[in-house]
Amino acid sequence: MLAAVVAVAAAWSAVVHAGPCWNLTHPECWFSGRALLHGGPSQLGDFHGCVDRLRQQYCLLSLRLGPAVDSREQPSQLWLSIQEAAASRTRFRRDLLERGLCVPAGAAAQQVAEGVQSALSEAASAEGVTASVEAAEGACQTAGVDAFQWDTADVAVGGVAVFLLALLVVATTTEGMLRLKNSTAKSKGLRTLLCFSVISNWRRLAQPPRKHLNLRYVQGARFLTMTIIILGHRIVLLEAAPILNPEFIEKSYGRIDWTTIFNGHLVVNTYFVISGFLLSYLFLQEVASRRKFRVSYIWWACLYRYLRLTPSYAATVALASTLAPHAGRGPLWTRLLGWDRRACRSHWWANMLYVNNYVHADDTCLLHTWYLATDTQLFTVFLVVLAAVWRWPRGAPHLLAACAALSCLVPALAAYFLQLDPTLLSLPETLRRLSYDETFLQSYVPAHMSASPYVAGVIAGYVLHRRESQAPGKRLPKWAVAVCWVVPLTLPMATLVSPYPFYQDDWLDSPAIAAVYQAFFRLTYGVGIALVFFASASGVGWFASSALSWRPFQPLGRLTYSAYLAHYTMQKCKFGLQFHEEYVAESRVVSHWFSDVMEAYLCALVLCLMVELPTSALCNVLLPQGARKEGQEAPSWKGDAINGVKVSNNAVVGSGISLAPSVDLNISATTASASTNGSLTTLSMDGRAPAGKLSTVVNGSPRAPPTTMNGSAAVQSVDSTSASPAEVSELVTTPTSEIYGAAVWRVTAPDAPVTDIEMCHL
């Protein structure tokens, strides 16, 4: 009896998409099952009408069609159209269908599938096909019932989130009260609490960009790359979700401009180039300033990186596996959010150990986080390589050349012997089942296949360091400038459009061509991007460097890590809340893309202020000196630029200012400024410096008694009417302070207009 009711309801709901019908027992609602066999690959029906209006049960079922036994010699028209679609790699399969049906509440999913299959048997036979119906776990939803049951893990993560929010409120309120009293945090416990203050973290996020190292263009590159990645992931989810006009996507594979979108996954290699470039350049600058290298640097660097990245990562995994699945409902909600809920609970440890690109890669938690594992593994390997570069400088070019050759040889051999595609092809059926695609698992996510762009970045950083250390200030020759412009303008774009032949139906797979292409396509793209950074650092980036260094890009670039973590789950929620098939057009794709970017960065702002920035601040407060000095990827001040004031040979020379930091410069001190009105020179230190002493020296001899700095601002005025310039020195000598050594500033301020005196943020 139940099967009969289900069959009638299934036949009715097949056309709910075409028009409303609210009475399950009305004869006008009894339609033939033939309607289920025709139409697009996916038809969602009316989820809202079924669940909220009729208060019935909505089921999303899978239909698999095959040829009828008596029609194999003379296939039916329906089966011929199915075969025609299957013959093209750029078309969606028409033998795998999804249908949203409204059935009586209380029916089990398996009973629904059996009832629908019984109702379809006669219609399928008349169409010359066979139909088998399946209902996945969680395929049916009813009103007032959460698709996922709340459990202890959900409550625990919710409790941690509430506690963290309360901690932010307390820390922010505490800092606000301290500011009202013009006081500062003196105890280590209070400074630890203030790591969670939104006031401090917002200031860190929104502070003006420093000219330190002249690497501001990196933040612009991070942000723009993230926007393209968000677009790529929208395309992935779009092709995996129901589409009202799949013909639009199918025809787009014949357009070369859309090839850049389908091949957009290549853009993630920009991050590998950035990582390699910064690691190489900053590592070599750091060890050059110390003139020694210790093995402990590698351990501290890896530890600091792990502590800096993992809390935000863990928070994202926890939310995806607990609270996020309870945030909504829709036809696709259970499928899209249920995957991460199940996989993250089973394999979270692989993510936290950064091995999820090798371990459970076909059932990974948060599919896009393969990049974090790959980048972490490459970071560790190339720390060792760079240590060897520093230890044996004469053999460095040969070692880096060998790394480049090996990074090309390994993908070539893997592609040839594993019979992989030339690259990850964004074909309809590939994207619908991306986690099981062999090219994705064997070529796209492993670290050994993605090393070549990282090597390109490492070599660019190495060459930049050598050039600055051996020929500082020397201009690039004209031919090098031409290369720095021509190659980035041609090579990356050529690489993006190069897979166009692979998408055509007349393309014949060739293991040799696949091996050659796999060997070089990442490297060619990486070389082009690496030259952009090298040109910008060398002062010949011109418009590109200025555009990437645009001030609004600086905070957006700092938010990029949190945006990368949060955006994919956010996009899944948007698709899960989709009640109808998506109509695809360029304008709609662009519109959804911009909304995705805005929403991703809003989510990133919350994650950054609640987890990422507090974690970074805690590392600086709680870790010992070795972790801060060796783990942070920051060089000494020698050769750096600070807000327009140039550093040369350990002395900063600006407009009327000479600032000489010692080797143990206190990075936590915030501001030193000097001003003069022709007769008076004033040195001011921000009150955040630890307790210490401020002494005044004029013409080499003390002129005033020491002034104690005890957490409040200290100001000393010096009479500079003599012909010789006045010198003001600030010396922190308290051995028990948190400064871990002495920090010395020397400011020379001759008679000069006040506008010539610079403000230096340290």
One-letter-per-residue 3-state SS of 50-75: HHHHCCCEEEEEEEEEEECHHHCCCC
Quick one: 341 and 279 in the same domain? yes
Residue 277, in any domain of the structure: yes
Residues facing residue 759 across a β-bridge = 673
Spatial distance between the Cα atoms of 711 and 184, rounded to a whole number of angstroms: 6
Low-confidence ranges of the chain (pLDDT < 70): 1-33, 70-73, 208-214, 624-762
Token pair belonging to 457 = 């970045």
Whether residue 243 contacts residue 42, with contact meaning beta carbons closer than 8 Å, is answered with yes
- Three-state SS annotation for 119-186: HHHHHHHHCCEEEEEECCCCCEEECCCCCCCCCHHHHHHHHHHHHHHHHHHHHHHHHHHHHHCCCCCC
Burial 706-742 (b: 16+ CB within 10 A, else e): ebebeeeebebebebeeeebbbbbbbbeeeebebeeb
Quick one: 573 and 617 in the same domain? yes
DSSP 549: T
- Domain boundary among the residues 578, 600, 631 is at 631
Looking at residue 569, its pLDDT comes to 95
Looking at residue 189, its pLDDT comes to 87
Following CA atoms 295, 299, 302, 307 in sequence, which dihedral angle do they give, to the nearest 10 degrees?
Answer: -150
Domain range for residue 84? 2-142
Which element (helix H / strand E) includes 598?
helix 586-607
Quick one: 618 and 500 in the same domain? yes
Spatial distance between the Cα atoms of 614 and 637, rounded to a whole number of angstroms: 25
Residue 708, in any domain of the structure: yes
What residue has token string 């304008």? 587
Quick one: 619 and 689 in the same domain? no
Q: Collapse the DSSP code of 201 into the 3-class scheme (helix H, G, I; strand E, B; otherwise coil) and give the result.
A: helix
Quick one: 399 and 365 in the same domain? yes
Residue 373, in any domain of the structure: yes
Quick one: 414 and 518 in the same domain? yes
Quick one: 597 and 696 in the same domain? no
CA nearest neighbour of 386 among 323, 445, 461: 461
Residue 203, in any domain of the structure: no
DSSP 609: I
> Could you give the maximum distance between any two Cα atoms of the chain, in Å?
111
Quick one: 347 and 444 in the same domain? yes
Quick one: 704 and 748 in the same domain? yes
Residue 486, in any domain of the structure: yes
Contacts of 418 (CB under 8 A, 6+ apart): 438, 442
pTM for this predicted structure? 0.79
Residue 621, in any domain of the structure: yes
Spatial distance between the Cα atoms of 332 and 238, rounded to a whole number of angstroms: 12
Spatial distance between the Cα atoms of 359 and 351, rounded to a whole number of angstroms: 9
**Bridge-based pairing state of the strands 96-103 and 42-43:** parallel
Residue-wise pLDDT tens digits, 504-534? 988 888 999 999 999 999 999 999 999 999 9
Task: Look at the chain and report how many structural domains it folds into.
Answer: 3
Number of C-beta neighbours around residue 674 at 10 A: 24
Quick one: 615 and 670 in the same domain? no
Residue 374, in any domain of the structure: yes
Which element (helix H / strand E) includes 714?
strand 714-719
Number of C-beta neighbours around residue 588 at 10 A: 12
- Domain boundary among the residues 588, 611, 631 is at 631
Number of C-beta neighbours around residue 194 at 10 A: 21
Spatial distance between the Cα atoms of 596 and 134, rounded to a whole number of angstroms: 33
- Domain boundary among the residues 631, 662, 696 is at 631
Quick one: 108 and 224 in the same domain? no
Residue 228, in any domain of the structure: yes
Quick one: 653 and 613 in the same domain? no
